[in-house]
Chains A and B, each alone.
Chain A
Amino acid sequence: MRNMYTILPTVAAGITALAVLTAGPAYAKVEGDSIILGSAISFTGKYSTNGIHAKNGYDLGVKIINERGGVKVDGKTYKLKVKYYDDESTPARTAQLLERLIKQDGVKFFLGPYSSATTKAAAPIVEKYKVPMVEAEGASRSLFTKGYRYLFAVLSTSEQYLASAIALAAELAPKIGKKPSDIKVAMSFENDPFSLDVRAGVIEDTKRFGMKIVVDDKMPRDLSDISPTLRKVQAVKPDILVISGHSKGAATAARQIKELKIDVPMIAMTHCEAAKIVQKFGKSVDDYLCPTQWSETLSYKDDYFGTAADYDKLFKATFKGYKNVPYQSAQATAAVQVWKDAFERANSFDPMKVRDALSATDMKTFYGGIKFAKAGNNIAKPMVLRQIQGGQYVVVAPSKWASHPVNFPRKAKD
């Protein structure tokens, strides 16, 4: 009897293995009337919060597209389906699971993981097996400098985070009686890959307008004191102060700008929301400019989700417990829309044809325009700049999408 117990699982495993082996190729990318998308994403570990936001975004995209008629390829209607694995927030695991999805599960079409780090691990794998991936959560510029041909990203890359602020400063220069090339720029950046990406974008744009960089400091390693930089700012009186140091750098900067009464006509900073600067420093952070990938107040729209505001409502109704819809979810949904569009234009499930269709993507969504550069990054959606006005984040740039006029120049506040 005891033997039976030990033999049974072995036999079962053998049968399953056989089934997997034989069914593998047929399972492939399309199963009956379902197109299978694969994703290794973070349900546990340090990225799990945002990983789950992204998964919810993917799921909502799949649900709505399936409800509204699915995907039509070669005269037949298919439903979308996502096969997930948990990468435990570790890049090595992401790479491993992707190989598994490709080799064992036969999946040929992919949605991205969460974070730049895991996406960096995923990109070489999809490249190696020549299967396309549409990712929504890896913003690092370095993802798009390696010549990957199978990686497509719907979000704006990190170097664009604050470049729009430089463009805005150039646009507003006449208001303070200056030419764009007269604008003086002060910068304070954390010494990490993300912030240095942001910095590279800012420097590129200042060159474009011929602006002068008067302060170019990095933050100290523990990000707890940038007052020497701010004293310099006080002395050289720049027209715009640009700051990026994740939420810690943002909190330090906001506190010390308040304390030292730094009076600069324009202050632009990343991670305002994450650092909760409005709650912490109240009125003193009014008129700060903060970049975001997406905002529910934008007037973007499409046929599936309506406007950005409609998406916001739909998302909150579908998933309980969300007070604000994270942009991570919105961009994940947009990635699913890109897949649908690409399948229909390719009119085939041949990965090469689908890849070519992806690279020719040019569409409008509730999340913004999507059009991929040769490197795979989205060039149709600008970063949006929000300004803190009376404690609220309102969109002020680019002017096409602005809901409020920008307050410029700002005055130092207590």
Chain B
Amino acid sequence: MFGNIQLLIAAPALNVQLLLDGILIGAIFALAAYGLALVWGVMNVKNLAQGDYVILGGYIAWWGQKTFGIHPIVMLPIACVLLFIMGWLLYLLIIRWVINRDMFTSLLATFGIAFMLAQLLNVAFGPEIQTAQSGMTTRTLFATVSVAEIKVVSFVLCCVLAALIVAFMKKSRMGQAIRATAQDARAARIMGIDTERVYAFTYALNAAICAAAGVLISMIWVIQPFYGITHAIRSFVIVTAAGLGNLPGVIVAAFGLGVAEQYGGFVLGAELQQVSVVGLLLIVLIWRQIKLARLRQVVQ
């Protein structure tokens, strides 16, 4: 471990490299986490199937490339539309019935969806690991730092998607209705907002956002029917660390998580990569607790 830290000090370019790797991958984490924050904030549903929507998006991109030779990036909007429809149907079929129940019921229901999706993918495509090919290369900057073009492209795509979502939430009628429902569903209903439709739309939008993240992940990492859970955990860590309803917080936390994973993996060894992430969450929560405790004393 100390050897690894010495290495970081001896070769400063490595830090740049790890930061860059972390931020580029963090952008994709931010996308999936934002979807989760949306569903959590608006509907108070903790969607455990988040990661499986991501993987499903990845499988759509991979399948499109394998069967029809379509470039995965072209498959991105198709995957979004398909997952949007699926999200809407799942809402009507399942989520609608659990949305007003206690937290445990919605956790179980979405956990069930996660299981079903993973098994269906397993039956349809088999348990082998798959990858979609972006066909792009890797560039070396200043002879020390190397960047895969696909990561830069995904970063840009993530930014564009995020901007689109923010604009949609601010400007469109549906976006405004979603925000109103999030603030107070009862008041929104009184004002004539069809909250049922808002919920369905929100859940479907989340699935579509996950699909986009999944398509990008299929080109950068690998996909496999049972890999959903790690992506779900990442989203939960990010949203919990950022706090609900805090979009800038989600973005910062996602970048932080991306960088923490890279550094954690480098210094402690790749097997402790995910430990470092959950450890980070613990630190954030404890720190927040201390801050709150101080605040309570002031109030008293």
Contacts and interface: CB of A to CB of B under 8 A. Distances in A.
A234 B146 CA distance: 10
A220 B7 contact: no
B224 A219 contact: no
Contacts of B227: 222, 224
B269 interface: yes
Contacts of B261: 225, 228
A276 B129 CA distance: 10
Given A191-B271, A227-B262, A231-B18, A248 B224 contact: yes
Given A251-B129, A259-B138, A235 B11 contact: yes
Contact of B269 (A217, A234, A414): A217
A395 to B, nearest CB: 26
A248 B129 contact: yes
B131 interface: yes
A260 B148 contact: yes
Q: Chain B interface residue count: which class? A: 35 or more
A225 B131 contact: no
A258 B221 CA distance: 12
A220 B222 contact: no
Contacts of A218: 269-271
Contacts of B14: 231, 235
Interface in B55-105: none
Contact of A232 (B7, B137, B150, B271): B7
A228 B138 contact: no
B230 interface: yes
Nearest to A251: B129
A232 B262 CA distance: 11
B138 A232 contact: no
Interface string B193-222: 000000000000000000000000000111
Interface in A310-334: none
Interface in B252-272: 261-266, 269-271
B4 interface: yes
A285 B265 CA distance: 24
Given A227-B265, A228-B262, A229-B265, A220 B271 contact: yes
Contact of A222 (B21, B230, B269): B230
A260 B265 CA distance: 16
B265 A255 contact: no
Interface in A232-247: 232, 234-236, 247
Which one of B150, B221, B227, B261 has the greatest number of beta carbons of chain A within 10 Å? Answer: B221
B254 to A, nearest CB: 15
Contacts of A261: 138, 140, 146
A248 B226 CA distance: 12
B222 A231 contact: no
Given A224-B222, A225-B221, 8 more contacts: A217-B269, A225-B270, A227-B262, A228-B261, A236-B7, A251-B222, A260-B138, A414-B138
Interface of B: 4, 7, 11, 14, 17-18, 21, 128-129, 131, 133, 137-138, 140, 146, 148, 150, 220-222, 224, 227, 229-230, 261-266, 269-271, 273-274
19 contacts: A218-B270, A218-B271, A221-B271, A221-B274, A224-B230, A225-B261, A227-B21, A229-B269, A231-B262, A232-B4, A235-B7, A248-B224, A251-B222, A252-B221, A255-B222, A258-B138, A259-B220, A261-B138, A414-B137
Interface of A: 188, 191, 217-222, 224-229, 231-232, 234-236, 247-248, 251-252, 255, 258-261, 275-276, 280, 414
